[in-house]
Structure formats: C-alpha cells, structure tokens
Amino acid sequence: MLRLENICKQYDLGDTKVDALKNISLEIKRGDYAAIMGPSGSGKSTMMHIIGILDSATGGKYYLEDYDITALPDKEQARIRNKHFGFIFQSFNLFPELSAMENVMLPMTYAGIPVKERKERAAKLLYEVGLEHRMTHLPTMLSGGEQQRVAIARSLSNDPDLILADEPTGNLPSDKGEEIMEILESLNKRGVTVVMVTHNPSQGKRAGYVIELRDGELCSSSTNGDSNV
C-alpha cells in the first residue's frame, strides 16, 4: 500500500541541524497492522506525519499505491488525507465547539457529502463505537475513553484505507486503552490498514508488524507470526 525509500527529515535550526529521520526505507502492505515503537524523540510522530502527508520529507521518496506523492499539490494532498487516511491522536483532538456527532460529520464536509447523509453516517459510526447515547454531547461532557471513541468514529467517516494512530491509548487508563485496541483490531480484521505508534510493548506484540526507531534510524522491523502479511 505504501513504500518509503530513504526518507530523511532534517530540521534546520540555523546553527544546528536535527535529523529526525535518517534514510528510512520500509513498506506497509494493504491490511497490515503495524506498530511503530521507540524511545521518546526517536522520530515516531515525525514518521506518522510524513506517512499522513501532513509533513514532507527533506529527502527520499514516498510511494502511495505506487504513485510518487513526494511533491503533490496541496489540494491533492488534502484530498488523500480526507478520503484515504484516518487520523487518531493521543490527545483526541476533538473540536470542543462541536458535538460528538458534528465532530464525526466534519471530515465528510470536505468530501462534499450532503448534510443528511453526513448525519446518517455519523450516527451509524457512533453506534458502532458504542456511543449512540452520546451523539449530542460536547467533548467536554465525555470521558477520555469516550472522546477517543468519537475520534475513531471521526477517522472512519470517509471510509479510509489507512488509519494512522499516534499513541491512541497514551492518555487513557489501561482498561479504556484496551477498549480502543479492540476497536482498532476489529477494524484491521475488516481490512483497514492500521499504523499505530505505541510505547506499550504488549500492544506492539499484538501488531503484525513492528517498526523500531532509534534516533531517527530504523533499527529493526520484525513480523509477528499471527500477522496476515
């Protein structure tokens, strides 16, 4: 599904240069469940941003479905993020001004889906993550676990091919984190590719594919037995 070739990311801070990613080459196949692991500052988020086309690499090539998307115009990038990617963040990142339902509807606006359909689909997705009774609640009225479930519903709103989750359980107690993990695993079983950053080794073990980063370098990428790779 996607392939990175010698991806580098360098931050130029004037007198010093920070190499956040150095010559990363890897491939993630459709249906993969990949975990990115590594110590803090090793470049995990940076890699997620590059994969999600929120950031651009300073070197190397990025192929998405064999298309070189290293230098795509902004509008195309936005369209790919909107239609093909779903983002889940550590700090949920829901809009506090919008209800749970409206948060889920938002990405569909950029896909040009009419309001009636947006509502129907948002209701269905919230039902799937077990929040049918919280649709009109504002994020501030929801628990952390509930907020992250709204965020998952939002990431699914345009039926993405790839879910990018940056420490989705990092702000949650372990039991709530487990609920999130189960949802992500069930999505993967339905065929959605999932790339997840985690600090939790047991979560890493459950992934089919583990990418280890250290100081911006890929130090190992291993396949676990139960993966469908």
Partner 1 sequence: MFNEPVKIILRRFRDRSLESGLLIIAVALGIGAFSAGLSLIMNTIKFSNEIMSSPEYKELVVSTRSNANEMDVPVKEKLVNETAVLTSEDLEAANLAPDVEWAYVQNHSMLMLISADSSSNNFGPPGGMGAPQGGMGGPQGGGPDNGQAPPDGMDNNQDEQGGPGGPDFHRMSEEEIAEAKADADIILSDLERVSGFEVTPQFFNSWNIEAAEGSLFSTSDLRGTDNIIVLGSEFAKLLAGDDMKVSDLLGKKLLARGGYQTIVGILNPVSEEYDSKFFKPYREDNGGMRGLRRGFMDTRLRFAVEDPEQLDSTETQLQNWFTSQFGDAQIVISNPRAEAEQLVARNTGIGILILFLSAAGFFIALVNVSNILMSRVLRMKKNVGILMALGASRKDIRNLFLSESLLLAVSGGIAGVILAVPLSNYMETAAGITSGSWLFIAAGAIIAGVLTFVFGLIPARQFMKIDPAIAMRSVS
Ligand X SMILES: Nc1ncnc2c1ncn2[C@@H]1O[C@H](COP(=O)(O)OP(=O)(O)OP(=O)(O)O)[C@@H](O)[C@H]1O
Which of 99, 190, 197 is CA-nearest to residue 150?
Answer: 99
* Minimum separation from the CB atom of position 176 to ligand X (A): 20
Instruction: Kindly state whether residue 107 participates in binding partner 1, applying the rule CB under 8 A.
Output: yes
- C-alpha distances out from residue 62 to 49, 50, 153, 221, Å: 12, 9, 28, 18
Phi, psi (rounded to 5 degrees) for 59: -160, 155
* Minimum separation from the CB atom of position 179 to partner 1 (A): 23
**Which residues lie closer than 8 Å to 69 by C-beta, 6 or more apart?**
53, 62, 63, 76, 77, 80
Using CB under 8 A as the criterion, what x/- string covers residues 140-169 for binding partner 1?
--------------x---x-----------
Instruction: Kindly state whether residue 44 participates in binding ligand X, applying the rule CB under 6 A.
Output: yes
* Interaction partner, residue 168 (Mg ion, ligand X, partner 1, none; CB < 5-8 Å by kind): none
**Which residues lie closer than 8 Å to 65 by C-beta, 6 or more apart?**
1, 2
SS3 23: strand
Using CB under 6 A as the criterion, what x/- string covers residues 3-42 for binding ligand X?
--------x-x----x-x-----------------x-xxx
Residues that bind partner 1 (CB under 8 A): 45-46, 49, 52, 54-55, 74-75, 77-79, 81-83, 87, 89, 93, 95, 97-98, 102-103, 105-107, 109-111, 115, 154, 158
